[in-house]
Amino acid sequence: MVVDPITAIAAPRRREILRLIWDRELRAGDIAAALPVTFGAVSQHLSVLRDAGIVDVRREGTSRYYRANLERIGPLAAVLEAYWTDALDRLAAEAEREEPMT
Amino acid sequence: MSAQVDRITVTRRIRAAPELVYGFFTDPALWVRWQGTAATVDAQPGGVLQVVMGPGGSGVAEGRFVELEPFERIVFTWGWASSPLSTLPPGSTVVTVHLRPDGDGTLVTLTHDSLPQGEREIHEAGWSLYLDRLVAVANGGDPGPDPSLRGVEKPPPRPTSDR
Q: Tens place of pLDDT for every residue, chain B, 163 residues?
A: 544 568 999 999 999 999 999 999 999 999 999 999 999 999 999 999 999 998 778 899 999 999 999 999 999 999 999 999 999 999 999 999 999 999 999 999 999 999 998 999 999 999 999 999 999 999 888 888 888 655 455 444 555 555 4
Query: Nearest CA of chain B to the CA of A2: how many Å?
Result: 8
Q: Position A9: which residue type?
A: I
* Residue of B158, B131, B124 lying closest to B24 (CA atoms): B131
* Residue of B31, B29, B65 lying closest to B133 (CA atoms): B31
| Contact between A43 and B15 using a beta-carbon 8 Å cutoff | no
pTM, two decimals, is 0.84
| Contact between A47 and B17 using a beta-carbon 8 Å cutoff | yes
| Contact between A39 and B20 using a beta-carbon 8 Å cutoff | no
- Structure ipTM: 0.78
Can you identify the CATH homologous superfamily of domain B5-153? START domain (3.30.530.20)
The distance from CA B33 to its chain's CA centroid, rounded to whole angstroms, is 11
* Residue of B40, B57, B28 lying closest to B148 (CA atoms): B57
Task: Choose among B16, B30, B138: nearest Cβ to A40.
Answer: B30
For A5-98, CATH number out of 3.30.565.10, 2.30.40.10, 3.40.50.300, 1.10.10.10 equals: 1.10.10.10
| Contact between A44 and B27 using a beta-carbon 8 Å cutoff | yes
Domain boundaries, given as residue ranges, for chain B:
5-153
Task: Choose among B20, B43, B140: nearest Cβ to A44.
Answer: B20
